[in-house]
């Protein structure tokens, strides 16, 4: 394999640039060529590719977002879109593809690989941390640190005004960001889709704290569990507490990647190149218990990384 392509797809996450850098530099180290594909699969369909060299990935290790830009391609879900993408692969002489993204992007990669017999390797990049086959996906740690920073700041004002604060965080159907940031931020309650809690139970807990003299509370709501605004409205109605809601939204997706995400991205980017050059295909690289491992993409898209319920119980015990 002499020339490979790399693209980022789906929601961006901090550390994707570090992964692109690792892919490009490891491939060049092995004497191979890399083409950067713009805007995910859309760029492949449209033939929007650019040759990458050592300099193309200089000064990006610390930058959030993705220099290749990203998209959720609807066209790539169609046979016509994938046929055009294959035509571009041939036109640009690409013999393998590295896809940095989440499970939706991997589903597309797998189908493309099977239809056209193209070697494909996936690198998990999503703040949601919901990918099977890796303990962490690129961008999750940065997002968690952003949320913890927000909790710290909100805690100051929550204490001063003796208020109840709801902080809604991202994660789609996953509670990983809410749970990890909630435990680190000392949140009183964490609502996650994997462990439903009724508003009555939540209000009972708040009231118990209030009776013990707790005058402010922070509640983290994963977007997949409930609407932060709605939870805030109901708490206010049932308890009468002065309640405010903050929705963190897309600021969780940007910012300079943490050292953890940069190192994860660098290791996974390099490992993806090694796998492709070793003749592997249909795999995703991940980190399990600190070691880089490869998992079948088929498995990665079929299963979800399960939430750590022990962590949830601990967060509950410590927030009493």
Q: Which residues bind ligand F6P (CB under 6 A)?
A: 11, 102, 126-128, 170-172, 223, 253
Minimum distance of ligand F6P from residue 77's CB (angstroms) = 16
Burial class (CB in 10 A: 0-12, 13-18, 19+), 317: exposed
Burial annotation 274-299 (CB, 10 A radius, 16+ → b, else e): bbbbeebbbbbbbbeeeebebbebee
Structure token digits, residue 6: 């790399």
Nearer to ligand F6P, 14 or 88 (CB): 14
Q: Tell me which of 12, 128, 130, 141 is the catalytic residue.
A: 128
- Alpha-helical regions (H) of 67-193: 79-91, 103-116, 140-161, 176-185
Instruction: Find the shortest distance in angstroms from Cβ 142 to ligand F6P.
Output: 12
Q: Write down the least CB distance from residue 315 to ligand F6P, Å.
A: 20
Handedness of CA 99, 144, 315, 233 (dihedral sign): negative
Q: Based on CB atoms, which residue is closest to ligand F6P, 11 or 282?
A: 11
State the residue for tokens 């509370």.
217
Structure tokens at 265: 């991205």
DSSP 214: -
For the bound state, the minimum distance from the C-beta of residue 118 to ligand F6P, rounded and expressed in Å, comes to 25
Is residue 120 within 8 A of residue 282, CB to CB? The reply is yes
What would the two tokens of residue 200 be? 């009555």
Least Å distance, CB 174 to ligand F6P, is 8
CA distance 308 to 317: 15
The residue (of 33 and 194) whose beta carbon lies closer to ligand F6P is: 194
Q: Which is nearer to ligand F6P, 126 or 258 (CB)?
A: 126
Annotated active-site residue 128? The verdict is yes
Nearer residue to ligand F6P within complex by CB, 164 or 174: 174
Give the catalytic positions in this structure: 128
């Amino acid at each position: 394999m002499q020339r490979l392509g790399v693209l980022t797809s789906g929601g961006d996450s901090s550390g994707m640039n570090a992964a692109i850098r690792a892919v490009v530099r490891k491939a060049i180290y092995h004497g191979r060529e890399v083409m950067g594909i713009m805007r995910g699969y859309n760029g492949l369909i449209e033939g929007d590719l650019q040759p990458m060299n050592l300099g193309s990935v200089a000064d990006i290790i610390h930058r959030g977002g993705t220099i290749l830009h990203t998209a959720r391609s609807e066209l790539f879900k169609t046979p016509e879109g994938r046929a055009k993408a294959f035509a571009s692969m041939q036109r640009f002489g690409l013999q393998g593809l590295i896809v940095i993204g989440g499970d939706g992007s991997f589903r597309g990669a797998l189908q493309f690989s099977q239809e056209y017999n193209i070697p494909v390797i996936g690198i998990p990049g999503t703040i949601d941390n919901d990918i099977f086959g890796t303990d962490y996906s690129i961008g999750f740690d940065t997002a968690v640190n952003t949320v913890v920073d927000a909790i710290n700041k909100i805690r100051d004002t929550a204490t001063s005004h003796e208020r109840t604060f709801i902080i809604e965080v991202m994660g789609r159907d996953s509670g990983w960001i809410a749970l990890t940031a909630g435990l680190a931020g000392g949140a009183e309650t964490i609502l996650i889709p994997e462990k439903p809690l009724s508003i009555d139970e939540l209000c009972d807990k708040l009231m118990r704290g209030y009776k013990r003299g707790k005058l402010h509370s922070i509640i983290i709501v994963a977007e997949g569990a409930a609407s932060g605004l709605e939870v805030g409205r109901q708490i206010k109605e049932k308890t009468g507490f002065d309640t405010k809601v903050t929705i963190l939204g897309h600021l969780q997706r940007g910012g300079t990647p943490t050292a953890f995400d940069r190192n994860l991205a660098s290791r996974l980017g390099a490992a993806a190149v090694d796998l492709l050059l070793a003749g592997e295909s249909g795999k995703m690289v991940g980190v399990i218990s600190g070691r880089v491992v490869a998992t079948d993409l088929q498995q990665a898209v079929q299963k979800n990384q399960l939430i750590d319920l022990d962590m949830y119980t601990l967060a509950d015990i410590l927030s009493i």
